Amino acid sequence: MRFVIVTGMSGAGKTTVIKILEDIGFFCVDNLPPALIPKMAEIIFNPGSQIKQVALGIDIRGGDLFSELFAGLDSLREQGYDYEIIFLDASDEELIKRYKETRRKHPLAQGDRLTVGIAKERAMLEEVKEKANYILDTTYILTRELKEEIQKIFSEDNPFNNLIINILSFGFKYGIPSDSDLVFDVRFIPNPYYIPEMREQTGNDAEVQHYVLQWDETKKFMNQLKDMVSFLLPYYVKEGKNQLVISIGCTGGKHRSVTVANELYHFLRSRQNSVMIQHRDIEKDRKRGK
């Protein structure tokens, strides 16, 4: 039996995750008042129940009822029922963008600016985020990629090590990603930007990849980077870390950082870790007309 609580920031993808879990065989109930959690568990865990996987969507739409969440979860523990919490998150900027696109109102804004509602919600959810078994940041991932991660956690036979790795390429001139855990600077690698035929290409193009990876310094760096990450991962898992952001930066985030990030991504995926990748600044020069 798997008893899963799905919660997190409004607009971060909770409804999507509920639908994904339903598709893979979970019995799902969205927006359940937290006070009803023990009663729901009692019904589900009844020996005669045919339900083997349950997901409950709980968030601040319940207003003051949300404050009863921990009382409900504590009651589950006291009754001997185990549960897992999956927390959906996204950056403030991305949440604002999504709300503007859908023209929805934030449940806590109540006439205030959207940023005020998001700040209130973050404060309310801080404790439940700290207790979450899985934290999924949906800022940079597509629905298809989110579905893959959920399936890895809840439907694959391979044990999930509770560590989601996010590899992020970026350009230093646009700032270091604020949520980085590890930052690597690859500006020491020869820059294909100065090769005219490669200037408009990116690290996703074979010609640029070959150029960046051909140098001895790149080869040595990649070997040491893979060794370092391989060394660190078991210790992050041991310490209970559930999300790791590895940021790879070059000047503009278009050539060298993208190439190195892709190489690290393929290396980690081959080890069956839960890994996602995002190239934050890959299109920025093009959008600015440079």
141 shares a domain with 17: yes
pTM (2 d.p.) = 0.63
Phi/psi class of residue 13: alpha, beta or left (left: φ > 0; alpha: ψ in -120 to 50)? left
SS3 content of the chain, % helix, strand, coil (to 5): 50, 20, 35
Q: Is the pLDDT of residue 92 over 90?
A: no
> Does 203 score more than 90 pLDDT?
yes
Q: Are residues 115 and 178 in the same domain?
A: no
Pair (19, 146) in one structural domain: yes
User: Are residues 128 and 101 part of one domain?
Assistant: yes
Same domain assignment for residues 24 and 148 = yes
Instruction: Give the DSSP letter string of 228-257.
Output: HHHHHHHHHHHTT--EEEEEEEESSSSSHH
At residue 193, the pLDDT reads: 93
Q: Please report, rounded to a whole number, the percentage of residues in the chain having pLDDT higher than 90.
A: 38
Structural domain that includes position 172: 164-287
For residue 211, give the H/E element and its range: helix 206-213
Q: Which pLDDT does position 158 carry in this prediction? A: 46
62: pLDDT confidence band, cut at 50, 70 and 90? low
pLDDT at 265: 94
Q: Are residues 137 and 240 in the same domain?
A: no
Contact between 16 and 143 under an 8 Å Cβ cutoff? The reply is yes
pLDDT at site 264? 96
User: 222 CB contacts (<8 Å, ≥6 apart)?
Assistant: 213, 260, 263, 264
Any domain includes 159: no
DSSP-derived pairing of the beta strands 84-89 and 2-8? parallel
Question: Which of 121, 154, 187 corresponds to the end of one domain?
Answer: 154
Same domain, 84 and 216: no
The residue length of the chain stands at 290
Do the Cβ atoms of 114 and 96 come closer than 8 Å? yes
How far is it, in rounded angstroms, from Cα 160 to Cα 144? 19
Better-predicted residue by pLDDT, 124 or 265: 265
Residues 37 and 90 occupy one common structural domain: yes
Closest among 40, 29, 39, 36 to 7, alpha carbons compared: 29
- Picking from 136, 154, 172, the residue at the C-terminal end of a domain is 154
pLDDT digits (tens, 9 = 90+) for 22-39: 988 899 988 887 778 888
Number of structural domains in the chain: 2
Asked whether residue 65 is assigned to any structural domain, the reply reads: yes
Checking if the pLDDT of 63 tops 80, the result is: no
Flag whether 107 is in a domain: yes
Same domain, 198 and 262: yes
125 and 188 inside one domain: no
Q: Do 202 and 102 belong together in one domain? A: no
Q: Confidence class of residue 130 from pLDDT cuts 50, 70 and 90?
A: confident
**Same domain assignment for residues 91 and 214:** no
Tell which of 103, 130, 154 closes a domain: 154
Q: Find the CATH number of the domain harbouring 92.
A: 3.40.50.300
